[in-house]
Amino acid sequence: MNRKKIILILSLIYFIACGTMVKEKHQEQETIQLPKEVAFRVPKALKLIENHKDMTKVHYEKRKAPEHRNFGYFQMKEDVSSLEKKQFIIEENVQFLTQIMDKLEKDCGETDRQNSQPCSIENGQYSFIDQKSNKRYPLGKLLFLETTSNNQTYYHLDVDMSYFFHHREDNDFIEENDVIRQSIHWSKDEDNVSSKLFFNNKITTNTITMDYTQTTKGIKKMRLEEEYIDIANNTIITFYLALQKEVKKERYTIDSQYIIANTFDNGVREKAIDDAKGFLGKKIGQLFFTFAEYQVSTTDDHVISGGKLAGLSSTFDRDGNELNSTECNEGEACDLNDPSTWRSR
C-alpha cells in the first residue's frame, strides 16, 4: 500500500472518529436536566443567625394584630429566616427530582411533551430515594411539558409529592389533609427558573414561590414569596423578598413587603402593609421601612381611607448588627415622606 493511500485511510478514520465524538457530545448536551442553580443564598445581614436545618412549620402561625407588629429590621430578619427555610425545602425537592429526569425524558418523547397538553404520568409510576433516610418514596401524578417562545425552549414539570411529605420523619410542619405539589419551570439555558411549592387543603392554601434569573452582565435576581390564605376567615398573608445581586461589586438591592389583608362581608378589604426598600454593600446596608393601613374596595381595589402610620430607617453592617436607626410616627413633628426629618431612636 503506497504512502498516499495510507494517509487517505488515516484521514477518513480521523474524520469519522471526530464526527462520532461531536455527535455524542451533541446528544449529551440535548439531555434534559433540571437546572443546577435555582436560587442564591440570602445575605447574612438579612436573616437571624440560627440552625437552618431545624424544620419549622410551613404555615404561618397566628400573627399579632398588625398595629402591634414590631415592624422594622429585626422583624424583617425573622420573616426572611422563616421564608429561607422554605427555600431550602424547594432546593431539596429539586435535588430529589433530578433522579427521575432520564426516565421522564424517555417516557415523554418529544411528540408527547411538545403537545399543547402536557405529558402525564400516573400516580405511583415514579419514585426517588431520600439519601438522608435511605428510603424510597413514590411520587404522585406528574405533568411534563416543553414549550418554545422567542426562540427559547422552556420546560415545565409539576409533581404531586404528598406521599413523601406525609411519610417523612419531620412531617409535623404540614397539615393532615394537605395536598402538596412541587412545580418547576425553567429555560433551556437555565437563566430563568421559577419554582413553586403548594400546600392545599379545604381550609387553607399556602404557596411558596421562588423566581431566579441571571444575566451575562453579572447580575442575579431572586424573588422569594409566601402567600397564606385562610379561606374560613377571609384572610390573606403575603410576604416577599426581592433581591438583585451585582456579583462583582457584592452589592444587593433590596425590596420587601409583608401584607395582611382581611375581607369583610360589606365588600371592603382591610390591608396592613410593612414595606422595606434599601441596599447592602460590601461593608454596610440601609433599609427604609414604612407601615401603613388601608381600607380598600374589593370591587375595583380603590383606596377608601388610610395611609402611612410610621416610618423607620436602619443602618447595619454585613453581619447584621444594627448601627443606627431613625423613626417617625404619624402626628409627630416629622415628615413620613422625608427620612431626613426623622428622629434618632
C-alpha to C-alpha distance for 72 and 342, rounded to whole angstroms:
15
- The whole-number pLDDT of residue 28 equals 47
Instruction: Identify whether 120 is part of a domain.
Output: yes
At position 141, the amino acid (one-letter code) is K
Instruction: Identify whether 211 is part of a domain.
Output: yes
Look at residues 130, 121, 119 and name the one whose alpha carbon lies nearest to residue 97: 130
Look at residues 295, 290, 313 and name the one whose alpha carbon lies nearest to residue 305: 295
C-alpha to C-alpha distance for 188 and 151, rounded to whole angstroms:
11
Q: Where are the alpha helices (DSSP H) in the chain?
A: 3-30, 73-97, 101-107, 110-113, 162-167
Q: Is 100 exposed, middle or buried (0-12, 13-18, 19+ CB in 10 A)?
A: buried
| β-pair type (219-230, 235-246) | antiparallel
Instruction: For 242-257, write each residue's pLDDT tens digit.
Output: 999 999 999 999 999 9
Instruction: Identify whether 124 is part of a domain.
Output: yes
Look at residues 239, 300, 240 and name the one whose alpha carbon lies nearest to residue 269: 300
Instruction: Identify whether 141 is part of a domain.
Output: yes
Rg (CA), the chain: 26
Q: What is the extent of the structural domain holding 284?
A: 36-46+69-344
- The whole-number pLDDT of residue 286 equals 97
Which residue ranges in the chain fall short of pLDDT 50? Answer: 22-29, 51-68
DSSP-based three-state secondary structure for 246 = strand
147-154 long-range contacts, CB within 8 A, separation 24+: 147/114, 152/187, 152/188, 152/189, 153/187, 153/188, 154/185, 154/186, 154/187, 154/188, 154/192
- The whole-number pLDDT of residue 64 equals 41
Q: How many domains does the chain have?
A: 1
Q: Write the CA distances from 266 to 233, 269, 270, 295, 296, integer angstroms.
A: 14, 9, 11, 12, 11
Grid cell at residue 257: 413587603
Could you give the maximum distance between any two Cα atoms of the chain, in Å? 102
Instruction: Identify whether 311 is part of a domain.
Output: yes
- The whole-number pLDDT of residue 282 equals 93
C-alpha to C-alpha distance for 156 and 185, rounded to whole angstroms:
4
Instruction: Identify whether 317 is part of a domain.
Output: yes
Yes or no: say if 242 and 257 are a contact pair by the CB < 8 Å rule. no
Instruction: For 5-61, write each residue's pLDDT tens digit.
Output: 555 555 555 555 555 554 444 444 478 999 999 999 999 999 987 544 443 444 344
- The whole-number pLDDT of residue 6 equals 57
Instruction: Identify whether 101 is part of a domain.
Output: yes
Grid cell at residue 137: 418514596
DSSP-based three-state secondary structure for 14 = helix
Instruction: Identify whether 254 is part of a domain.
Output: yes
